[in-house]
A and B are shown apart, each in its own frame.
Chain A
Amino acid sequence: GAVVSQHPSWVICKSGTSVKIECRSLDFQATTMFWYRQFPKQSLMLMATSNEGSKATYEQGVEKDKFLINHASLTLSTLTVTSAHPEDSSFYICSASRDNNEQFFGPGTRLTVL
């Protein structure tokens, strides 16, 4: 149990386009979902925390208008990178948590912006 999926697993897009990444908790209802960004050979940096039906809470320095987060249900959260640029290229990882005080991580999405 406690499986989190992400789609797509990798995406390549042109500069200026928008990209949507989905995060789903497959076998449990997630009270909270988290979005992280990881640059090569670096640690995970929390971008935002989202709860179903409410606005996401963004970390300092993360542009909320650029990284749109929608948490429409207890099993789905989406991250949209708007007007992507090469510096947005990164590995994006989501996690979902439930009542047992543990975050379950998705496999990540590799975004490359040309």
Chain B
Amino acid sequence: AQSVTQPDIHITVSEGASLELRCNYSYGATPYLFWYVQSPGQGLQLLLKYFSGDTLVQGIKGFEAEFKRSQSSFNLRKPSVHWSDAAEYFCAVGPPEYSSASKIIFGSGTRLSIRP
């Protein structure tokens, strides 16, 4: 079955510290991979996505993610977090043949808190 696992429910890091949010997926083939961010009471904003090519993907707001096929992982990283990064982060997958009508499966989310 297709699934996305975010093992960390809640992470707290100090402002200025580095961040890594974990994401593992289970899929029959290499899926399309996404990271979204959701601020409280808001919709989702796409941070970055991986379809193919370079396995290190750069996104908005200084985020990057690395696709590791051997580990079925797509971890999100940021070298130095800011207080405004406090939010809920969702990893998601779409099918390899992803199109505009394709469904996205979301992970359970990781809540990021920033310590002043």
Contacts and interface: CB of A to CB of B under 8 A. Distances in A.
Please say whether chains A and B are actual partners in one complex. yes
Interface of A: 4, 6, 31-32, 34, 41-44, 46, 49, 51, 91, 93, 95, 97-108, 110
**DSSP majority for the A interface?**
strand
Interface of B: 32, 36, 41-46, 49, 51, 90, 98-104, 106-109, 111
Nearest to B105: A46
**DSSP majority for the B interface?**
loop
A102 B42 CA distance: 18
Contacts of A104: 46
A105 B45 contact: yes
27 contacts: A6-B43, A32-B101, A41-B111, A43-B90, A43-B106, A43-B107, A43-B108, A43-B109, A44-B90, A44-B106, A46-B103, A49-B101, A49-B103, A51-B101, A91-B41, A97-B101, A98-B100, A100-B100, A101-B32, A101-B51, A101-B98, A101-B100, A102-B46, A105-B43, A105-B44, A107-B43, A108-B43
Contacts of B108: 42-43
